[in-house]
Amino acid sequence: MGLNFDDIWAKVLDIIKKELHPVSFSTWFNETKLHDINDKKIILQVPMSLHKKMLMQNYYDLISESFYSVIGEEKEIECLLPDEINVPVTALVNDVINNTDVGEEQNSSYHFESNLDKSLNFENFVVGDTNKFARTAAFAVAQNPGVQYNPLFIYGKSGLGKTHLMHAIGNYITENNPKLKVLYTRSDDFRKDYAGISNTNGNSFDYAKEFKNKYRNVDVLIIDDIQYLVGAEKTQEEFFHTFNELHSNNKQIIISSDRSPEDLKLLEERLRSRFTWGLPVDIYPPDFDLRCRILRDKINRGTTIGDKITDEAIEFIANNCDTDVRRLEGAINRLVAYTAMIVPDKIDLEFANEALKDIITKNPYVSNDIASIQKAVADYYKITVDVLKGKKRSANIVYPRMVAMYLCRMLTDQSFPRIGLEFGGRDHSTVIHAVNTIEDDLKENGQLKEIINEIKSKL
């Protein structure tokens, strides 16, 4: 090959770095090393099983293509942990916070509870294009609380996984840094606790001390749905001081909201500006691929119908419950209950349609959805759907991608932003450009019209 392993890996990392957000790159590749290249495989050494899972599930194609660009050969990628290749784990994991000074706990009758849901962790958070950045940032904070991205501000509509990520951060920290005190709370609970100070009939001093001990004597404060502090001026004042004390002492703060800091217009400006000190990250509604994987994961983990349900039924549910994860969960619960009554041999498209007819009204045999269009276009141009939705910018990929975006706009009622999300999280302006380009080409290109009509005939 003419290059040693260090040179090869350096060149591969340069390519990968250009394709990823700095947070994603540092989290998943800073501690990843090239261990070996043999006749069939490229073996990477990763520090944790979580890195192994993420690289294989979400970055495999990028890694493979980057190596191909450097060595000119296509090889299988394999990720191994240090103990799988007999290399000591020392110095692989950056455990910055192990010896953090927790500080003396004030004398108090308050019994500390973290309020964390132990069932919510990084391992069962299903990752896709629409939540990958938020998940990467959350894991970076969990690894090094108080060191970077402080505060971490996660925002997005209800039911997209914000709370899951917050509990995952808390659980990871308590498992790996048990000396650290982690508190999860909702903003309305913070508001109620603060209101209690003025309702303690002659004992307000003790209650105020309890309140401050609960919220300021922690190493990690996780506060959910911060938008509910809107209109509570005194509570905002108290949270401002709580935030300042924690932040000035390098304690990690994690906040969620249903909108970005800039859109929290009714919160005090000094709070909104502090929310942007660290890293604001957003979560979008799941695209079709992610919805299918979430459905399959939740069915396999939490029900007994996993071996009965067909891929066709999964895709039917994913196509029709496309707003948030909670709607997917509602469909699963309904399907499980109906299955318990009917006890079918298999759960196919027809059975799923019957079970969910009260919450899904679309005809299951009408296939003009984004996923079907993507498959039809990919089949016509003899490429895969993953490539169609991916990052490759070669002309033989870009034009079919524009054709697919055009058809999605013409044949579905989906918005430009929604179509962009289904094509690897692309911006709505990219979809608008694609639609305009194909419309202009159709005016002069008779062959393109035939292609469009042929693809339509397959739907």
Q: Are strands 41-45 and 33-37 parallel, antiparallel or unpaired?
A: antiparallel
Give domain status of residue 109, yes or no: no
Residue 90 has pLDDT above 50, yes or no: no
Among residues 57, 225, 66, the alpha carbon closest in space to that of 135 is found at 57
According to DSSP, the residues that pair with 224 across neighbouring strands are 186
Among residues 367, 449, 366, the alpha carbon closest in space to that of 403 is found at 449
The last residue of a domain, from among 320, 339, 361: 361
Asked if 148 and 240 sit in the same domain, the reply is yes
Using alpha carbons only, what angle is made at residue 256 by residues 252 and 262, rounded to the nearest 5 degrees? Answer: 105
More confident residue, 116 or 51: 116
Range of the domain at 432: 370-458
Residue 98 has pLDDT above 70, yes or no: no
Query: What pLDDT is stored for residue 100 in this prediction?
Result: 36
Give domain status of residue 173, yes or no: yes
More confident residue, 100 or 36: 36
pTM for this entry: 0.64
d(CA 353, CA 347): 10
Edge-to-edge, what's the strand order for the sheet holding 220-224?
A: 182-186, 220-224, 252-257, 152-155, 279-282
pLDDT digits (tens, 9 = 90+) for 192-231: 888 876 565 445 556 677 888 899 999 999 999 999 898 8
According to DSSP, the residues that pair with 152 across neighbouring strands are 254, 279
Asked if 190 and 325 sit in the same domain, the reply is no
Tracing tokens 């309702």 back to the chain, one arrives at 199
Residue 77 has pLDDT above 70, yes or no: yes
Asked if 278 and 297 sit in the same domain, the reply is no
Asked if 347 and 409 sit in the same domain, the reply is no
Give domain status of residue 164, yes or no: yes
Asked if 277 and 136 sit in the same domain, the reply is yes
Asked if 258 and 381 sit in the same domain, the reply is no
Asked if 135 and 241 sit in the same domain, the reply is yes
Give domain status of residue 47, yes or no: yes
**CATH number (domain holding residue 316):** 1.10.8.60
**202: its two tokens:** 């002659």
The last residue of a domain, from among 337, 361, 385: 361
Asked if 144 and 189 sit in the same domain, the reply is yes
Average pLDDT over residues 343-347: 92
Average pLDDT, the chain: 86
Query: What pLDDT is stored for residue 95 in this prediction?
Result: 39
Give domain status of residue 306, yes or no: yes
Asked if 396 and 331 sit in the same domain, the reply is no
Give domain status of residue 92, yes or no: no
Residue 105 has pLDDT above 70, yes or no: no
The last residue of a domain, from among 21, 50, 82: 82
Query: What pLDDT is stored for residue 88 in this prediction?
Result: 39
Using alpha carbons only, what angle is made at residue 77 by residues 73 and 81, rounded to the nearest 5 degrees? Answer: 145
Asked if 75 and 170 sit in the same domain, the reply is no
**CATH number (domain holding residue 163):** 3.40.50.300
